[in-house]
Protein backbone atom coordinates (compact mmCIF):
# COMPACT_ATOMS: atom_id res chain seq x y z
CA UNK A 1 0.00 0.00 0.00
CA UNK A 2 1.85 3.13 -1.20
CA UNK A 3 0.18 5.74 0.95
CA UNK A 4 3.05 7.09 3.08
CA UNK A 5 5.76 9.46 1.98
CA UNK A 6 9.25 8.00 2.00
CA UNK A 7 10.64 7.62 5.50
CA UNK A 8 7.43 8.75 7.19
CA UNK A 9 6.79 5.48 9.01
CA UNK A 10 10.31 5.32 10.40
CA UNK A 11 10.25 8.98 11.39
CA UNK A 12 6.95 9.03 13.24
CA UNK A 13 6.78 5.50 14.62
CA UNK A 14 3.10 5.15 15.57
CA UNK A 15 2.37 8.81 14.82
CA UNK A 16 3.21 10.56 18.05
CA UNK A 17 3.34 7.48 20.27
CA UNK A 18 6.60 5.86 21.27
CA UNK A 19 7.35 2.31 20.16
CA UNK A 20 6.78 1.09 23.73
CA UNK A 21 3.43 2.90 23.96
CA UNK A 22 2.39 1.62 20.54
CA UNK A 23 2.88 -1.97 21.68
CA UNK A 24 0.99 -1.53 24.95
CA UNK A 25 -2.67 -1.13 23.85
CA UNK A 26 -2.91 -4.48 22.06
CA UNK A 27 -0.10 -6.44 23.66
CA UNK A 28 -0.56 -10.21 24.21
CA UNK A 29 -1.95 -9.43 27.70
CA UNK A 30 -4.50 -7.03 26.21
CA UNK A 31 -5.60 -8.46 22.85
CA UNK A 32 -8.02 -6.54 20.58
CA UNK A 33 -11.05 -8.59 21.59
CA UNK A 34 -10.74 -7.30 25.14
CA UNK A 35 -11.27 -3.76 23.93
CA UNK A 36 -14.91 -4.61 23.35
CA UNK A 37 -14.68 -3.28 19.77
CA UNK A 38 -15.06 -6.73 18.33
CA UNK A 39 -18.19 -7.68 16.40
CA UNK A 40 -18.72 -10.17 13.60
CA UNK A 41 -16.06 -10.17 10.88
CA UNK A 42 -17.60 -8.56 7.79
CA UNK A 43 -14.58 -8.18 5.48
CA UNK A 44 -10.83 -8.65 5.19
CA UNK A 45 -8.20 -7.37 2.82
CA UNK A 46 -5.56 -4.69 2.41
CA UNK A 47 -5.86 -0.94 2.07
CA UNK A 48 -5.53 0.60 -1.38
CA UNK A 49 -5.87 4.28 -0.57
CA UNK A 50 -6.53 6.51 2.45
CA UNK A 51 -9.16 9.18 1.77
CA UNK A 52 -9.07 11.03 5.09
CA UNK A 53 -8.41 10.37 8.76
CA UNK A 54 -11.23 7.83 9.11
CA UNK A 55 -11.93 6.69 5.56
CA UNK A 56 -10.03 4.36 3.23
CA UNK A 57 -10.51 2.04 0.27
CA UNK A 58 -9.95 -1.69 0.40
CA UNK A 59 -8.10 -3.32 -2.47
CA UNK A 60 -11.44 -4.53 -3.90
CA UNK A 61 -12.68 -0.92 -4.14
CA UNK A 62 -15.05 -0.88 -1.18
CA UNK A 63 -14.97 2.31 0.89
CA UNK A 64 -14.56 1.88 4.65
CA UNK A 65 -15.53 4.36 7.35
CA UNK A 66 -14.07 3.85 10.82
CA UNK A 67 -16.94 3.60 13.30
CA UNK A 68 -17.04 5.29 16.67
CA UNK A 69 -14.62 8.17 16.17
CA UNK A 70 -14.49 11.70 14.82
CA UNK A 71 -11.47 13.22 13.11
CA UNK A 72 -10.95 16.75 11.80
CA UNK A 73 -12.53 17.15 8.39
CA UNK A 74 -10.28 18.42 5.58
CA UNK A 75 -10.87 22.15 5.27
CA UNK A 76 -12.88 22.36 8.51
CA UNK A 77 -12.90 25.90 9.86
CA UNK A 78 -14.95 28.44 11.72
CA UNK A 79 -16.33 31.51 10.00
CA UNK A 80 -13.55 33.90 9.15
CA UNK A 81 -10.85 31.49 10.36
CA UNK A 82 -8.34 29.36 8.47
CA UNK A 83 -8.67 25.58 8.35
CA UNK A 84 -8.12 24.03 11.78
CA UNK A 85 -5.17 21.73 12.43
CA UNK A 86 -5.35 17.98 12.63
CA UNK A 87 -6.92 16.71 9.40
CA UNK A 88 -3.65 16.02 7.59
CA UNK A 89 -2.07 14.47 10.69
CA UNK A 90 -5.04 12.12 11.14
CA UNK A 91 -4.86 11.04 7.50
CA UNK A 92 -1.12 10.42 7.73
CA UNK A 93 -1.58 8.45 10.96
CA UNK A 94 -4.25 6.24 9.42
CA UNK A 95 -1.97 5.60 6.44
CA UNK A 96 0.78 4.45 8.78
CA UNK A 97 -1.50 2.13 10.73
CA UNK A 98 -2.84 0.48 7.56
CA UNK A 99 0.37 0.32 5.53
CA UNK A 100 1.44 -3.25 4.67
CA UNK A 101 -1.10 -4.67 7.11
CA UNK A 102 -3.72 -7.37 6.78
CA UNK A 103 -6.99 -5.62 7.63
CA UNK A 104 -10.00 -7.15 9.35
CA UNK A 105 -13.32 -5.31 9.59
CA UNK A 106 -15.61 -6.03 12.54
CA UNK A 107 -19.28 -5.05 12.52
CA UNK A 108 -19.77 -2.10 14.84
CA UNK A 109 -23.56 -1.89 14.92
CA UNK A 110 -26.73 -3.24 13.34
CA UNK A 111 -26.27 -0.63 10.61
CA UNK A 112 -23.47 -1.96 8.39
CA UNK A 113 -23.25 1.01 6.04
CA UNK A 114 -23.75 4.76 6.23
CA UNK A 115 -25.99 6.78 3.95
CA UNK A 116 -23.19 7.02 1.39
CA UNK A 117 -22.85 3.24 1.17
CA UNK A 118 -19.54 3.12 3.07
CA UNK A 119 -18.95 0.12 5.32
CA UNK A 120 -18.97 1.17 8.99
CA UNK A 121 -16.62 -1.00 11.02
CA UNK A 122 -14.17 -1.48 13.82
CA UNK A 123 -10.87 -1.89 11.98
CA UNK A 124 -7.94 -4.08 12.98
CA UNK A 125 -4.54 -4.05 11.30
CA UNK A 126 -2.34 -7.15 11.59
CA UNK A 127 1.38 -6.58 11.10
CA UNK A 128 4.37 -8.53 12.43
CA UNK A 129 2.04 -10.82 14.34
CA UNK A 130 0.38 -7.99 16.29
CA UNK A 131 -3.27 -7.14 15.69
CA UNK A 132 -4.02 -3.49 16.50
CA UNK A 133 -7.31 -1.70 16.89
CA UNK A 134 -6.97 1.23 14.50
CA UNK A 135 -9.64 3.30 16.25
CA UNK A 136 -7.89 2.80 19.57
CA UNK A 137 -4.50 3.76 18.14
CA UNK A 138 -5.86 6.94 16.58
CA UNK A 139 -7.60 7.97 19.81
CA UNK A 140 -4.62 7.08 22.02
CA UNK A 141 -2.28 9.16 19.84
CA UNK A 142 -4.64 12.14 19.92
CA UNK A 143 -5.54 12.05 16.23
CA UNK A 144 -9.23 11.30 16.84
CA UNK A 145 -11.96 11.94 19.36
CA UNK A 146 -14.49 9.37 20.51
CA UNK A 147 -17.67 9.89 18.52
CA UNK A 148 -21.29 10.23 19.59
CA UNK A 149 -22.14 6.73 18.35
CA UNK A 150 -19.63 4.01 19.13
CA UNK A 151 -21.92 0.99 19.00
CA UNK A 152 -20.63 -1.12 21.88
CA UNK A 153 -20.75 0.35 25.38
CA UNK A 154 -17.69 -1.72 26.39
CA UNK A 155 -15.80 -0.37 23.40
CA UNK A 156 -16.92 3.19 24.23
CA UNK A 157 -15.66 2.98 27.82
CA UNK A 158 -12.20 1.88 26.70
CA UNK A 159 -11.97 4.47 23.92
CA UNK A 160 -13.09 7.22 26.31
CA UNK A 161 -10.39 6.17 28.78
CA UNK A 162 -7.73 6.42 26.10
CA UNK A 163 -9.07 9.74 24.89
CA UNK A 164 -8.83 11.16 28.41
CA UNK A 165 -5.18 10.11 28.66
CA UNK A 166 -4.38 11.68 25.28
CA UNK A 167 -6.23 14.89 26.17
CA UNK A 168 -4.45 15.28 29.50
CA UNK A 169 -1.11 14.69 27.78
CA UNK A 170 -2.04 17.19 25.03
CA UNK A 171 -1.23 14.70 22.30
CA UNK A 172 -2.11 15.35 18.67
CA UNK A 173 -5.16 17.53 18.19
CA UNK A 174 -5.41 18.12 21.95
CA UNK A 175 -2.39 20.39 21.67
CA UNK A 176 -4.61 22.88 19.79
CA UNK A 177 -6.91 25.20 21.71
CA UNK A 178 -9.49 24.65 18.96
CA UNK A 179 -10.24 21.20 20.39
CA UNK A 180 -10.16 22.12 24.08
CA UNK A 181 -13.09 21.33 26.35
CA UNK A 182 -15.75 24.01 26.07
CA UNK A 183 -17.10 25.52 29.27
CA UNK A 184 -20.88 25.16 29.59
CA UNK A 185 -20.87 28.42 31.56
CA UNK A 186 -19.70 30.23 28.41
CA UNK A 187 -22.62 29.57 26.04
CA UNK A 188 -21.34 32.02 23.42
CA UNK A 189 -18.18 29.94 23.05
CA UNK A 190 -20.24 26.78 22.69
CA UNK A 191 -22.55 28.39 20.14
CA UNK A 192 -19.50 29.39 18.09
CA UNK A 193 -19.08 25.64 17.40
CA UNK A 194 -22.56 25.34 15.89
CA UNK A 195 -22.56 22.65 13.23
CA UNK A 196 -19.36 21.10 14.60
CA UNK A 197 -18.58 18.18 16.87
CA UNK A 198 -17.47 19.37 20.31
CA UNK A 199 -16.95 18.39 23.95
CA UNK A 200 -18.67 20.58 26.52
CA UNK A 201 -18.22 20.33 30.29
CA UNK A 202 -19.97 21.99 33.19
CA UNK A 203 -22.06 21.59 36.32
CA UNK A 204 -25.68 20.60 35.74
CA UNK A 205 -28.07 23.05 37.36
CA UNK A 206 -31.30 21.08 36.94
CA UNK A 207 -33.00 18.23 35.09
CA UNK A 208 -36.56 18.70 33.86
CA UNK A 209 -39.01 16.65 31.83
CA UNK A 210 -41.49 17.99 29.31
CA UNK A 211 -43.49 15.68 27.14
CA UNK A 212 -41.20 13.15 25.47
CA UNK A 213 -37.99 15.02 26.31
CA UNK A 214 -35.63 15.26 29.29
CA UNK A 215 -33.84 18.60 29.55
CA UNK A 216 -30.44 18.69 31.25
CA UNK A 217 -29.95 22.37 32.02
CA UNK A 218 -26.56 23.97 32.63
CA UNK A 219 -28.11 27.41 33.20
CA UNK A 220 -31.38 29.09 34.11
CA UNK A 221 -32.29 30.52 30.70
CA UNK A 222 -32.87 28.01 27.93
CA UNK A 223 -32.93 30.87 25.43
CA UNK A 224 -29.28 31.62 26.20
CA UNK A 225 -27.66 28.83 28.21
CA UNK A 226 -26.31 25.43 27.20
CA UNK A 227 -28.76 22.53 27.31
CA UNK A 228 -28.57 18.79 26.64
CA UNK A 229 -31.69 16.89 25.62
CA UNK A 230 -32.42 13.17 26.00
CA UNK A 231 -35.54 11.64 24.52
CA UNK A 232 -37.56 9.71 27.10
CA UNK A 233 -37.51 6.64 24.87
CA UNK A 234 -33.72 6.53 25.20
CA UNK A 235 -33.65 7.00 28.99
CA UNK A 236 -33.42 3.29 29.75
CA UNK A 237 -30.18 3.02 27.75
CA UNK A 238 -28.56 5.74 29.85
CA UNK A 239 -29.83 4.24 33.10
CA UNK A 240 -28.49 0.79 32.13
CA UNK A 241 -25.08 2.40 31.60
CA UNK A 242 -25.12 3.94 35.10
CA UNK A 243 -26.11 7.36 33.78
CA UNK A 244 -29.62 7.90 35.11
CA UNK A 245 -30.55 11.41 33.88
CA UNK A 246 -32.42 12.44 37.04
CA UNK A 247 -29.16 12.08 39.02
CA UNK A 248 -27.26 14.58 36.84
CA UNK A 249 -28.24 17.68 38.84
CA UNK A 250 -25.27 19.03 40.76
CA UNK A 251 -22.79 16.81 38.92
CA UNK A 252 -19.88 17.88 36.73
CA UNK A 253 -20.82 16.42 33.36
CA UNK A 254 -18.98 16.21 30.06
CA UNK A 255 -21.06 15.81 26.90
CA UNK A 256 -19.98 15.24 23.32
CA UNK A 257 -21.93 15.70 20.14
CA UNK A 258 -22.92 18.10 17.38
CA UNK A 259 -23.67 21.60 18.58
CA UNK A 260 -26.98 23.04 17.44
CA UNK A 261 -28.92 26.16 18.33
CA UNK A 262 -32.32 26.04 19.98
CA UNK A 263 -32.49 29.32 21.80
CA UNK A 264 -29.08 28.79 23.36
CA UNK A 265 -26.53 26.15 22.31
CA UNK A 266 -27.83 22.60 22.48
CA UNK A 267 -26.61 19.01 22.05
CA UNK A 268 -28.94 16.04 21.75
CA UNK A 269 -27.59 13.00 23.61
CA UNK A 270 -28.90 9.85 21.98
CA UNK A 271 -26.42 7.33 23.37
CA UNK A 272 -24.69 6.82 26.74
CA UNK A 273 -21.21 7.28 25.28
CA UNK A 274 -22.03 10.95 24.85
CA UNK A 275 -22.17 11.55 28.60
CA UNK A 276 -19.41 11.27 31.20
CA UNK A 277 -19.30 12.23 34.87
CA UNK A 278 -16.21 14.42 34.84
CA UNK A 279 -16.09 14.55 38.66
CA UNK A 280 -15.16 10.85 38.68
CA UNK A 281 -11.72 11.57 37.21
CB 217 within 8 A of CB 204: yes
pLDDT reported for residue 110: 79
Q: Are residues 126 and 207 in the same domain?
A: no
Q: Are residues 55 and 147 in the same domain?
A: yes
Q: Are residues 103 and 201 in the same domain?
A: no
Q: Which residue has the higher pLDDT, 102 or 109?
A: 102
Other CB atoms within 10 Å distance of the CB of residue 203: 15
Residue 172 lies in a domain: yes
pLDDT reported for residue 114: 86
Buried b (16+ CB within 10 A) or exposed e, 240-250: eeebebeebee
pLDDT, tens digit, 9 for 90 and up, residues 238-273: 999 999 999 999 999 999 999 999 889 999 999 999
pLDDT reported for residue 30: 43
Q: How many helices (H) and strands (E) does the chain have?
A: 7, 18
Q: Are residues 124 and 244 in the same domain?
A: no
Q: Are residues 70 and 162 in the same domain?
A: yes
Task: Give the separation between CA 192 and CA 175, rounded to whole angstroms.
Answer: 20
Show which of 177, 207, 226 is a domain's final residue. Answer: 177
Q: Are residues 27 and 136 in the same domain?
A: yes
Q: Are residues 108 and 14 in the same domain?
A: yes
Question: How many structural domains compose the chain?
Answer: 2
Residue 188 lies in a domain: yes
Q: Are residues 187 and 158 in the same domain?
A: no
Q: Are residues 23 and 136 in the same domain?
A: yes
Statement: the pTM of the whole predicted model exceeds 0.85: no
pLDDT reported for residue 122: 95
**pLDDT surpassing 70 at residue 11:** no
Q: What is the CATH number of the domain that holds 255?
A: 2.40.50.140
Strand bridging mode 227-231 / 264-268: parallel
Residue 55 lies in a domain: yes
CB 148 within 8 A of CB 197: yes
Candidate from 103-107, 112-116, 168-172 with smallest mean pLDDT = 112-116
Residue 1 lies in a domain: no
Residue 88 lies in a domain: yes
Show which of 177, 198, 223 is a domain's final residue. Answer: 177
Show which of 157, 177, 197 is a domain's final residue. Answer: 177
Task: Give the separation between CA 108 and CA 158, rounded to whole angstroms.
Answer: 15
245 is in which domain, residue-wise? 181-280
Report the candidate in 157, 178, 135 with the shortest Cα–Cα distance to residue 242: 157
Q: Are residues 267 and 242 in the same domain?
A: yes
Residue 37 lies in a domain: yes
Q: Are residues 120 and 198 in the same domain?
A: no
pLDDT, tens digit, 9 for 90 and up, residues 138-190: 999 999 999 999 988 889 999 999 999 999 999 999 999 889 999 999 999 99
Instruction: Give the per-residue SS3 of 128-176.
Output: CCEEEEHHHHHHHCCCCEECCCCCCHHHHHHHHHHHHHHHHCCCHHHHC
Residue 2 lies in a domain: no
Please give the average per-residue pLDDT across 84-90, as a whole number: 84
Q: What is the CATH number of the domain that holds 120?
A: 2.40.50.90
DSSP secondary structure, 56-124, as one string: EEETTS-EEEETTEE-PPTT---TTSPPPTTHHHHHHHHHHHHTT-EEEEEE-SS--B-TTSPEEEEEE
Q: Are residues 68 and 111 in the same domain?
A: yes
End-to-end Cα distance, the chain: 41
Residue 217 lies in a domain: yes
Amino acid sequence: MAVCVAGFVAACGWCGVSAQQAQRPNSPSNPPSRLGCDGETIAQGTAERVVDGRTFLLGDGREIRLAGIEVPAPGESQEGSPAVPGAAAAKDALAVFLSDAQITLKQADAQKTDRYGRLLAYVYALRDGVDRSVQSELVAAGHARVGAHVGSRTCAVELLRRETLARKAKLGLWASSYYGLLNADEPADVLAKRGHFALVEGKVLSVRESGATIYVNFGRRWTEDFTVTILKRNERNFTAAGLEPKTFAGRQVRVRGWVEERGGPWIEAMRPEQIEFADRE
